[in-house]
Amino acid sequence: MRVLMVSDVYFPRINGVSTSIETFRGALATHGVEATLVVPSYGDDEPARDVIRVPSRRVPHDPEDRLAQYAKLRRATLEAAADCDVIHVQTPFAAHYAGLNAARRLRKPVIATYHTLFEEYLQHYIPWLPAAMLRGLARRFSRGQCNELDAVIVPSCAMRTRLRDYGVRRPLHVLPTGLPAGAFIPGDGAAFRSRHGIAATRPVVLFVGRVAHEKNIAFLLEAIAVVRDSLPDILFLVTGEGPARADLERHAARLGLCAHTRFLGYLDRRNELPSAYAAADAFVFASRTETQGLVLLEAMAQSCPVVGLSLMGTADILGPLRGCRIAPDDPGGFAAVLLELLADPAGRARLGTAARAYAQEWSDQALAGRLAMLYRELLE
């Protein structure tokens, strides 16, 4: 069986969508599914099997993303779809319309994964328009797109509920992204600390993800400021890049956290990032709009316990209370839970062991098997 995936983003652009695509493509092969991918070119792309790159241009005020030339994306998608059984759209921009066009012209089933809760994001990027107006526009846009498809994949139960509330009437399938076997290869936390000049005994708290306002990193900085009053040598590592970095660095300075916060930028996912997780005493996450929160599972796979808000997609991961602590949605309460964990080395070790065992239940192979079954159901 052959599937065509179409996306507006992919590596070297690092984000949850790119990671999800790569994880599923790798795991689907063992279930008899070959996946071809049509994506924008970033100019310095590494050649990859079954990846078709389309010429693109830079997005204004966004150095990380590219906008594919639509005519060429549409043509490449149509040509690639001719040899495929199912079309799987991964993003709702040009890729959605190119995939839908190919599906209609070739009379093939089309499915999409709804990765991002846009109604909560737009206000950060178009602040001059009323938030209520933007939410309404996002809901109508998402409803219209989803109802054009044969089925929609969502990464969490909360997202399924949200789309039903929008008025989406197409079948909705909850299917999170799994973890590849490589995520469980132990990182070298001691070597990571040594490379970055971090003392072996210094308490380290880690965030990994896009450095954007919707990730609620300012909230985490405020919680760290509270923690610092009781734990003066606390260090908060922020890994990733994004449009909010400069604002957050200034916010950290205002809070007096310059000696307690480091923005590390992107780390190599295969080598350096696992060691960052292994070096941390706790992983923290406070996004209120996350559709899944794969980084929580990545941290758990490295035996790093999680402290986070259990909202939207993260509730599916944190709800069972395995390998994690759920914190209140206020900086002081969040800090109190984090301080309690950092003050209990034995309890933290037990939580880390439970976290790794729990993460192993989110295997990419098991979840890819469910996706392959869904593809086949679309053909019946």
CATH number of residue 127's parent domain: 3.40.50.2000
- Are 219 and 270 in the same domain? yes
- Are 59 and 23 in the same domain? yes
Q: What is the C-alpha to C-alpha distance for residues 267 and 248, in angstroms, rounded to an integer?
A: 19
Domain range for residue 283? 181-359
Q: What is the per-residue pLDDT for 129? A: 67
- Are 267 and 346 in the same domain? yes
pLDDT tens digits, the chain, 380 residues: what are they? 999 999 999 999 888 899 999 999 999 999 999 999 999 999 888 888 899 999 999 988 778 889 999 999 999 999 999 999 999 999 999 999 999 999 999 999 999 999 987 776 666 566 666 777 878 888 999 999 999 999 999 999 989 999 999 999 999 999 999 999 999 999 999 999 999 999 999 999 999 999 999 899 999 999 999 999 999 999 999 999 999 999 999 999 999 999 999 999 999 988 899 999 999 999 999 999 888 899 999 999 999 999 999 998 899 999 999 999 999 999 999 999 999 999 999 999 999 999 999 999 999 999 999 999 999 999 98
- Are 61 and 170 in the same domain? yes
CA distances to 18, 96, 111, 167, 236 from 91, in Å: 10, 6, 11, 19, 32
- Are 71 and 130 in the same domain? yes
- Are 269 and 304 in the same domain? yes
Q: What is the C-alpha to C-alpha distance for residues 154 and 292, in angstroms, rounded to an integer?
A: 9
Q: What is the C-alpha to C-alpha distance for residues 191 and 276, in angstroms, rounded to an integer?
A: 9
Q: What is the per-residue pLDDT for 123? A: 60
Q: What is the per-residue pLDDT for 184? A: 95
- Are 14 and 111 in the same domain? yes
- Are 223 and 308 in the same domain? yes
Q: What is the per-residue pLDDT for 102? A: 98
Q: What is the C-alpha to C-alpha distance for residues 163 and 287, in angstroms, rounded to an integer?
A: 19
- Are 68 and 96 in the same domain? yes
- Are 258 and 322 in the same domain? yes
- Are 171 and 216 in the same domain? no
- Are 198 and 76 in the same domain? no
Domain count, the chain: 2
